[in-house]
Each structure stands twice: as structure tokens, then as C-alpha cells.
Structure 1
Amino acid sequence: MKKIYLLGVLATIMLAGCSSAKTTESSSADTSAAESKLTDETSIAGTDADITFTVGFDQDFPPMGFVGDDGEFTGFDLDLAADVAKRLGKEIKYQPIAWDAKDMELTSGNIDCIWNGFSTKNREDKYTWTKPYMKNDQVFVVRSDSGINSFEDLAGKTVEVQIDSSAEAVLKENTELSSTFAKLQTVADFNTGFMDLEMGGVDALAMNSVVANYQITKRGGEGFKVLDKPLSSEEYAVGFKLGNTILRDEVQTALEEMKADGTLKIISEKWFGKDVTTLE
């Protein structure tokens, strides 16, 4: 009798243990599935690349991209980017960057592209590019009363360029010219560069002609002049991380639509008084 009773108890315990194990396994599986589903949903919902278009730019680079009088980001390139984002069904996000940190920003995914008077010259193989949409020259800006009228007059002078800019790359390559300078130095942005030039801290600025002419006009059109001979010629395009052809192609298609319907011309006339775009 006792044996039968003990066997019954043991059977009950074993059944309870199996039931508990199955319940634990089921609960664990349900939790794992729920976590997996949550992770997937969070991943999908949190993919900013699907809903935003983040443009990296130098905020001290008028008229391409800068801080307007109202404190908002504005500029020719930023207007183009905003229209492209709208056509792609994305929200535009302007991301100011330090120009010498642009590669890190792009590689890390903090920005989708660099769009700010970005020259392809000497960078052809470093980025995935759209087709060029604008031409530009690198030029020297000097004070009107400086007596500097040619490259030869720059001998023994202090010349300033924005760090990691096209002008810096050109002058480092053209040692025949740059070796005649007393000093070639860099500056973080051209607003500071113009102040240095105005105060006599430097004798000349090497920079983009588009930006140079805009800066001079904003300062009343007097006090500075651009040397007649350009340092080099270049083209502007939108630069993406090397290999990112999918987003590049989407942006390129949008730009071509803007060319066809006249939007490029309208935005260009707003900033320059004429159509300076070259996209074909």
C-alpha cells in the first residue's frame, strides 16, 4: 500500500516537473520571439536613412550654404538639396560640419552626402559623384589698394586658404607659384579669411570665385578685388560615400527633373541673378 502511494507521489512530481519545464521553454520562446519582433520593428522605424536626407555643409560658405540673418540655414546648394529631398519623399536635414572632418562625417554615416560648393578636382576617385551641376574658378582676392595685380606680385606675400579646400590642394601642387610666397597658411572659414585680409593680417586669399564675388558684393563691392587670372578651373557636384550609387542615382534623377522643369534655373536666378548651372 505504501509502495503504491509513493509511486503516485513520484509520478505527480515528475508530471509537474515536465509541465514546468514546458511552461518555461514556452515562455522563453515567446519572450525571444517578442524581443525579435520588437528589435525588427525598432530597426525599421528607426532607420533615419529611409525618412531623412542629411546634407553635410560648411555653414560659413555663402552663398552655397550659411547662416542667414534670421539665424536659419540657407544658400544656393541648400535650396537645391531641399527640393531634391522633397522629390525623394524625405525630410531635409542640414548638418553643419568642420570642413577638414567631412570624410569622417561621411564615413561614419552622420551625413548622407557633402553638398556645399564641393569641387571634384583632385577628388575624382575619393567619392561617388553626381554629374557636375556648376563650374567655378579658384582665384586670388586682394585688397584694392594692395598694389597686387598678378601672380608675380604675390612673391614674398602671405597667402591664406581654407583648410582642406580645393585652393589649398591646387597651391600645394603648384609649388612653382606657392614657393614664391612668404607664407601659405590655412584658416577655418572664409568669413574669418576676409577679416584677416581686411585687417592686413594676410595679403591675399585663394578661394572659389563664386564665393569671392558674393563676399565682395555683401561688403559693398569695394575694398577688395579678384585677380584677373584664375588659379584653376573646376566643377561642383554632390559627393557621396564611395560606392553609394543607390542614393547618388536617386539624387541625380531628381536633379535632372529639376533641370527639365526649370527649377534649377529658378533657384540659380534667386541667388546669382542668372542661370549659372551647367547640368545637361
Structure 2
Amino acid sequence: MKKIMIKMAAALSVLALLSGCSSKQETAPADQAGETKESGSEESGAAKAGDGEETFTVGFDQDFPPMGFVGDNGEYTGFDLDLAKEVANRLGKKFVAQPIGWDAKDMELESGNIDCIWNGFTMNGREDGYTWTKPYMKNSQVFVVAKDSGIQTLGDLSGKIVEVQADSSAEKALKEDETLLNTFKTLQTTPDYNTAFMDLEMGAVDAVAMDVIVAAYQIEQRKADFVILEESLSAEEYGVGFKKGNEKLRDQVQEQLEAMAADGTLKKISEQWFGKDVTTVAK
């Protein structure tokens, strides 16, 4: 009897083993189907990724308030980003805010990582490097100093340490004005203007050269004892810069900017950020 039970147990073990093999073989097609499905998903993703027309990716400096920056809620915000988002909505495209290193902006644009540069982007001196919209805002480069610094004119900057953002319009303007530049003790660069203002607050630098729109906003937000010198370094205009030759997308954006000027949207967004309409797009 014992031998019979042992043989029955062995037989059951063999059947279980065969059953297990059968189950594994039966599930193989399902696994292959899963691979096919996954492959299909990849194709779908590639098709979606290839629909570049459906997205509008804007390159911006995330440390450049009020044009583009990280808000208190951790989200990207800013005057230029609000304009770009509205344009994207009107074009039926998905808006993508893409922070970039400002000194790497040309590489980002040339590689196709972004569709345009829209972030207080000065046109003057860059006319031939990009395909531009018409200017939508006036600006100037100015110097910010501590109120009690005793610096009141450009002449007072002689022997002083001046700081600018790397590859900025202010840096370009200063390097073109060698007479003024040679009076400084040092002209040093920083990655962003938040750092520049901290340097100014600590007394590490005597002045910061930058866009007047951004300077006024920073002073107001920080409630700092800073002033803007009356003498400006240069007058300029802001535009939206596209890769050279991309007239199609430029024209689409320009058309929407003009429509936004006509229906009052530009004025409304401007007043939300600056308390007045600072835009210059013809209605």
C-alpha cells in the first residue's frame, strides 16, 4: 500500500510539472502580445513627439522677474510667459515653458529644444542673428546702486565694481562703450540678476547694469534701498526671437500679438504686471 501511495504521489508530481510547463507555454503568446502592445505604444509616443506643430516651447531665463521666473507656488510665471501662453492658446498649441541657461540660448534654439526665445530679449544689436517679431516693448539699460552709495551719475562709477548678467544686453552695451568701461575698477558677470541683487545688498559690488523694467520690478518686490541712475546706458526694444529663417512661426505669433493688441488683451496683461500698458504693438 505504501508503495502504491508513493507511486501515486510521483505521478501527481509529474502531472503538476507538465501542467506548469503547459501554462508557461500558453502564456508565451500573451507575453509576446504585451511586447507588441508596448512597441505600439512607443510608435504612438514617437508620433506624438513628432507633432511639433502642437506645442509652442518658449525658452526663458527663470531668474528674470517679472518677464519669466519661478513664482511663490513653484510654478513658472511672468509677463512674457503670460503673453506667450495666450498666443499658444490662440494658435491651438500646447504651451511649454522651457527654462534655459541664458548663455546657452542660441544652442537651445538651433537644436530645436525651443521654438523661440521670449524673455525680455533685446533686439538691438541682434537683428541679423534671429528671425524677429516686431518689437512689443521698449526698454533701456540702466545702473542700479544703493541709495546711500553716493553714486548719482555715470561719472561716479569710476573706480567702482559693476556687475552684469553673462551674455546680457547690458554686458554687450558696456563692452561697446570702452570709454565708460575703462573707468570701472572691475566689470564682473553673474549667471542671473537675483545673484546680482544679493551681491549689491551685501556690498560685494557697487552697481548692477540691467534692464530698467526688471530693475524697477526687483526694487519694488525687494523693498530695497536701491535707486536707478537717471542716465541710461542704452535704449532698446524687446522682441520674440526665432531661429533664423523660421518666418512661418514668427508670422503666426506676430498675427496673434496684433490681435491681442486690438482686443485689449495685451493692455490687460500689462496692467496686471506693471499697473499700466507698457506694450508697443500697433493695434
TM-score normalised by the chain length of structure 2:
0.83
Residue aligning to 1:17: none
CA distance in 1, matches of 2:255, 2:86: 12
CA distance in 2, matches of 1:271, 1:96: 20
Q: How does 1:64-75 map to 2 (within 5 A)?
A: 64-75=67-78
CA distance in 2, matches of 1:166, 1:86: 30
Q: How does 1:122-133 map to 2 (within 5 A)?
A: 122-133=125-136
Among residues 115, 119, 122, which one is paired with 1:119 in the alignment?
122
Deviations 1:129-181 (A, max 9, x none): 00000000100000011000001100000000000000000000000000100
Letter aligned with residue 265 of structure 2: T
Quote how far apart the aligned CAs of 1:50 are: 1.6
Letter aligned with residue 186 of structure 1: T
Deviations 1:94-142 (A, max 9, x none): 0000000000000000000000000001101000000000000100000
Residue aligning to 1:241: 243
Residue aligning to 2:59: 56
Residue aligning to 2:97: 94
Percent of aligned positions that are identical = 66
Deviations 1:30-51 (A, max 9, x none): xxxxxxxx99977643324121
**Structure 1 unaligned runs (5+)?**
1-37
CA distance in 1, matches of 2:127, 2:52: 25
Letter aligned with residue 167 of structure 2: D
Letter aligned with residue 145 of structure 2: V
CA distance in 1, matches of 2:97, 2:276: 25
Residue aligning to 1:7: none
Give SS of 1:270's match.
Answer: helix
Among residues 99, 109, 113, which one is paired with 1:110 in the alignment?
113
CA distance in 1, matches of 2:45, 2:198: 49
Letter aligned with residue 242 of structure 2: F
**Structure 2 unaligned runs (5+)?**
1-40
CA distance in 2, matches of 1:40, 1:192: 44
Structure 1 residues 225, 90: closer, same or farther in 2, change over 3 A? same
CA distance in 2, matches of 1:192, 1:162: 9
Deviations 1:42-70 (A, max 9, x none): 76433241211000000000000000000
Letter aligned with residue 122 of structure 1: G
CA distance in 2, matches of 1:43, 1:242: 26
Quote how far apart the aligned CAs of 1:277 are: 0.3
Letter aligned with residue 152 of structure 1: G
Letter aligned with residue 186 of structure 2: K
Residue aligning to 1:268: 270
Residue aligning to 1:205: 208
CA distance in 2, matches of 1:241, 1:56: 12
Q: What stretches of structure 1 move > 3 A for 4+ residues in a row?
A: 38-45
Letter aligned with residue 66 of structure 1: F
Residue aligning to 1:190: 193
CA-based RMSD: 1.6
CA distance in 2, matches of 1:40, 1:165: 41
Residue aligning to 1:11: none
Letter aligned with residue 110 of structure 2: T
CA distance in 1, matches of 2:48, 2:136: 34
CA distance in 2, matches of 1:162, 1:46: 34
Confirm or deny that 1:277 pairs with 2:279: yes
Confirm or deny that 1:250 pairs with 2:252: yes
Quote how far apart the aligned CAs of 1:223 are: 1.1
